[in-house]
Amino acid sequence: MSERILVIEDEDRIARLLQLELAHEGYEVAIEKTGRQGLKTGLSEAWDVILLDIMLPELNGIEVLRRFRNTNQTTPIIIITARDSIPDKVNGLDQGANDYVTKPFEIEEVLARIRSCIRLAKHIHEQNMEPSPKTLKVNSLVVKHRSHEVFREGKRIILTPREFDLLVYLMENWNLVVTREQIIQHVWGYNFTGDTNVVDVYIRYLRKKIDYDFDTHLIQTIRGIGYSMRESAK
């Protein structure tokens, strides 16, 4: 069965290009040209990947992303945007996007990022089909893998999908040092071609949520190498 991709893009030329190229690759493709209709279609049907423009009529892409993630935390979303500043990219990722592509883009890059998102989604689905729940515990931090719930000292902590994957990877490597490159490969995927500085950005997000308000800090910076999860007093 062909993977289904929803393209939410109001520029006719780009929408048509994506439709033709994706169909040529064997994907089933649907196009929506407004943010409001794109959100409605995205939530009403099952999609393997959503390609989402930022500058959309009726409802901008970031608001579409925010509302979609309130209901659906799992469907991969790739932002397509002409805004190439770091704050714009980080904002999109922080709202729950899985990846981003800047305009103008090469179609080969878009296809590679789609394949990466689909592989990762399938991997997460297979993990969630395990017969017994997977729970990770470090100090007072508890992660329930199948339900994507995170608690510290009994307080529930809300993470974006990318933050959750990063936290799980660090917890699975408790007391070990992992490099930025290793984190990129395991959390973003082997086909990720962005700047490894995105790891530092997400580590900062994660620290704000699971470390800063507690007496024991768990995420440690290993200067010149990467990061490690281990106990350290304030």
Q: Which of 128, 152, 168 is the last residue of a domain?
A: 128
Specify whether 72 is located in the same domain as 44: yes
Specify whether 20 is located in the same domain as 86: yes
Cα–Cα distances in angstroms (integers) from residue 222 to residues 187, 225, 226, in the given order: 19, 6, 5
Task: Provide the number of structural domains found in the chain.
Answer: 2
Q: Which of 75, 106, 128 is the last residue of a domain?
A: 128
Specify whether 141 is located in the same domain as 101: no
pLDDT tens string, the chain, 234 residues long: the values are 588 999 999 999 999 999 999 999 999 999 999 999 999 999 988 899 999 998 899 999 889 998 998 888 788 899 988 876 667 667 777 777 888 888 888 899 899 889 888 887 777 666 555 544 578 888 889 998 777 889 998 899 999 888 999 999 999 888 889 998 889 888 887 566 666 688 999 999 999 999 988 888 999 998 888 999 987 644
Query: Does residue 194 contact residue 185 with C-beta atoms inside 8 Å?
Result: no
Query: Does residue 110 contact residue 51 with C-beta atoms inside 8 Å?
Result: yes
- What amino acid is encoded at 192 in this protein? F
- Please give the pLDDT value at position 192: 66
Specify whether 123 is located in the same domain as 32: yes
Specify whether 109 is located in the same domain as 160: no
Q: Structure pTM?
A: 0.56
Specify whether 121 is located in the same domain as 34: yes
Sign of CA dihedral 199, 205, 206, 211: positive
- Please give the pLDDT value at position 207: 93
Under DSSP, is residue 48 helix (H, G, I), strand (E, B) or coil? coil
pLDDT digits (tens, 9 = 90+) for 29-83: 999 999 999 999 999 888 999 999 988 999 998 899 989 988 887 888 999 888 7
Q: Which structural domain, as residue segments, surrounds residue 60?
A: 4-128
CA distance 105 to 110: 7
Q: Which of 74, 105, 128 is the last residue of a domain?
A: 128
